[in-house]
Amino acid sequence: MPKSPHIVLIVADNLGWGELGCYGGGALRGAPTPNIDKLAAEGLLLHNFNVESDCVPTRSALMSGRHPIRTGCLQSVPAGLPQGLNRNEITLAQQLSGQGYATAHYGKWHLGDVPGRYPSDRGFDAWYGIPRTTDESQFTSTLGFDPSVVELPYIMEGEAGQASRQVKVYDLDTRRGIDAELVERATRFMTENVRQDRPFFLYLPLVHLHFPTLPHPDFAGRTGAGDFADSMVELDHRVGQIVQAVDDLGIRDDTVFIFCSDNGPEFRRPYRGTAGPWRGTYHTAMEGSLRVPFILRWPGKVAPNRVSNEIVHVTDLFTTLSLIGGASIPDDRPIDGVDQRDFFTGASEKSLREGFAFYIKDELRAVKWRNWKLHFYWEPEVNEGKGKLESPLLFNLTQDPKEETDVLIFNTWVMNPVLKMVRQFNLSCAAHPNTAPGAPDQD
């Protein structure tokens, strides 16, 4: 029986499509990214990898293989309020753990911050990182901050079967150093399991480039282009450290190595990112929100120097990685992710996905289908929405990447396959009712 491959999944936080050198950024942004660029040359680079509009929805989609409207993971909420994946959802970590994988989470979780919903309660053998979001690192430095009414943010850790515990306050100093800590722990985890000849799943959702985008002291001032560029150079270095560790351990050919982002770019100055040719940032339905970097290296399985504009969605990672790891796909609930193994390995030049419906919270904002995008709401920039449209707007994304010229009047035929897709999704939700946001766990 073939040996199960190791799986390394690195997810950057709010890394826009246009930041990396291999996506047209890099030195252009004052931040060369040689390590990630080299990784891209060694495998598959996607131009049309799609995520959700916010951290929680994307991470829930990755972990469950289901659109956030189904799971109730619609947006971030403050500490202490119900958030994240309900325990009746099956996670990717549970899928792989059930196949004998060692599993570890180092980084930002954002899928539950109460006992029973931490990573070590949801299929990970061990975890270290932050349960919620990085902007909390600013709390203790903010004028008027009152810890009597707001919980102090902590870096935490835990192991399966034990209560997770607070390690140290997550403030601006620990924010600068956390990615270095995550990489150190990740390297140790990989080394230990290679020695034991056990397949592992390393989920490494790094903190960069989420605001406040502050580099490790070793990288401060490195570029001369400010904190954001310094942090980008650090991110590239951290990815390079993991790549080097995999290669040094002699498991290069036996490792599915994925690097991607969870959301479109930051929009807050001075931490302003870029989506390259695409318009918009996260928290919108524009392509600058949906499309993010995605790189896959798997020597001997995935050809080097391959580039594709085929549509892939973050939910597909749950299905594809589950199958690569030998797990079967749950059949007691709708799973929105599709199996992209043939596409990733080149057995097929086409993705098995033609499109998807895109929600922000509980509103159907847009639908992508082939090269078309139909908007039901219009919000080209964050907080500049004009509400639901009387008549949808249609764009051909190949001809009009910035979504500037509505062509619906000339292409009303596109409404037919798009609305059929929406109807099928609605029927699925009716047959398998969606989980309400904040719904309590039943077990």
Q: For residue 1, is it within any domain?
A: no
CATH code of the domain covering residue 327: 3.40.720.10
Domain identity same for 212 and 124: yes
What CA–CA distance (Å, rounded) separates 329 from 169?
A: 39
Domain with 33, as residue range(s), is 6-140+150-345
Domain membership of residue 442 (yes or no) is no
Active-site residue list: 55, 110
Judgement on whether residues 65 and 93 belong to the same structural domain of the protein: yes
Half-sphere exposure of 237 (CA within 13 A, CB side): 15
| CA dist list (Å): 192 to 5, 88, 185, 244, 245 | 16, 31, 11, 16, 12
CATH number at residue 392: 3.30.1120.10
Q: Determine the Cα–Cα distance for residues 62 and 196; give it in Å rounded to an integer.
A: 28
Q: Into how many domains does the chain fold?
A: 2
Same domain? For 318 and 421 the reply is no
pLDDT at position 1:
41
Burial bucket for residue 31 (CB in 10 Å: 0-12, 13-18, 19+)? buried
In a shared domain, residues 335 and 397: no
Q: Pick the closest to residue 308 from 278, 267, 345, 277 (CA basis).
A: 345
Instruction: Kindly state whether residues 424 and 326 are assigned to the same domain.
Output: no
- On whether residue 25 sits in a domain, the answer given is yes
* pTM, two decimal places: 0.97
Residue after which a domain boundary falls, among 345, 370, 395: 345
The last residue of one of the domains, among 327, 345, 363, is 345
Helices (H), 128-282: 172-195, 227-248
Strand partners, 107: 129
Q: Are residues 131 and 245 in the same domain?
A: yes
* Residues lower than pLDDT 70 in the chain: 1-2, 77-78, 80-82, 443
The answer as to whether 389 is a domain residue is yes
DSSP symbol at 251 = -
Please report whether residue 438 resides in a domain. no
Residues 269 and 400 in one domain: no
Vertex 176 angle, CA 382 and 132, to 5° = 55
Residue 443 belongs to some domain of the structure: no
Question: Which of residues 317, 345, 373 is at a domain's end?
Answer: 345
- How far apart, in Å, are the Cα atoms of 176 and each of 182, 212, 226, 234? 12, 9, 14, 10
Q: Rounded to an integer, what distance in angstroms lies between the CA atom of residue 104 and that of residue 185?
A: 10
Do 267 and 369 reside in the same domain of the chain?
Answer: no
Cα separation, 111 vs 119, in Å, equals 8
Based on the domain organization, do 269 and 367 belong to the same domain?
no
Q: Is residue 307 part of a domain?
A: yes
Do the Cβ atoms of 103 and 200 come closer than 8 Å? yes
Q: What's the pLDDT at 404?
A: 97
Taking the chain, what is the end-to-end CA distance rounded to the nearest angstrom? 36
Pair (279, 426) in one structural domain? no
Sheet holding 44-46, edge to edge: 165-169, 154-159, 126-130, 102-108, 200-205, 6-12, 255-261, 294-297, 44-46, 306-308
Residue 390 belongs to a domain: yes
For residues 210 and 327, state if they share a domain.
Answer: yes
Clarify whether residues 378 and 426 are in a common domain.
yes
> Which region, left, alpha or beta, applies to residue 396 given φ > 0 means left and ψ of -120 to 50 means alpha?
beta
Q: In which order are the strands placed within the sheet that holds 49-50?
A: 291-292, 49-50, 312-313
Q: Which residues contact 431 (CB under 8 A, 6 or more apart)?
A: none
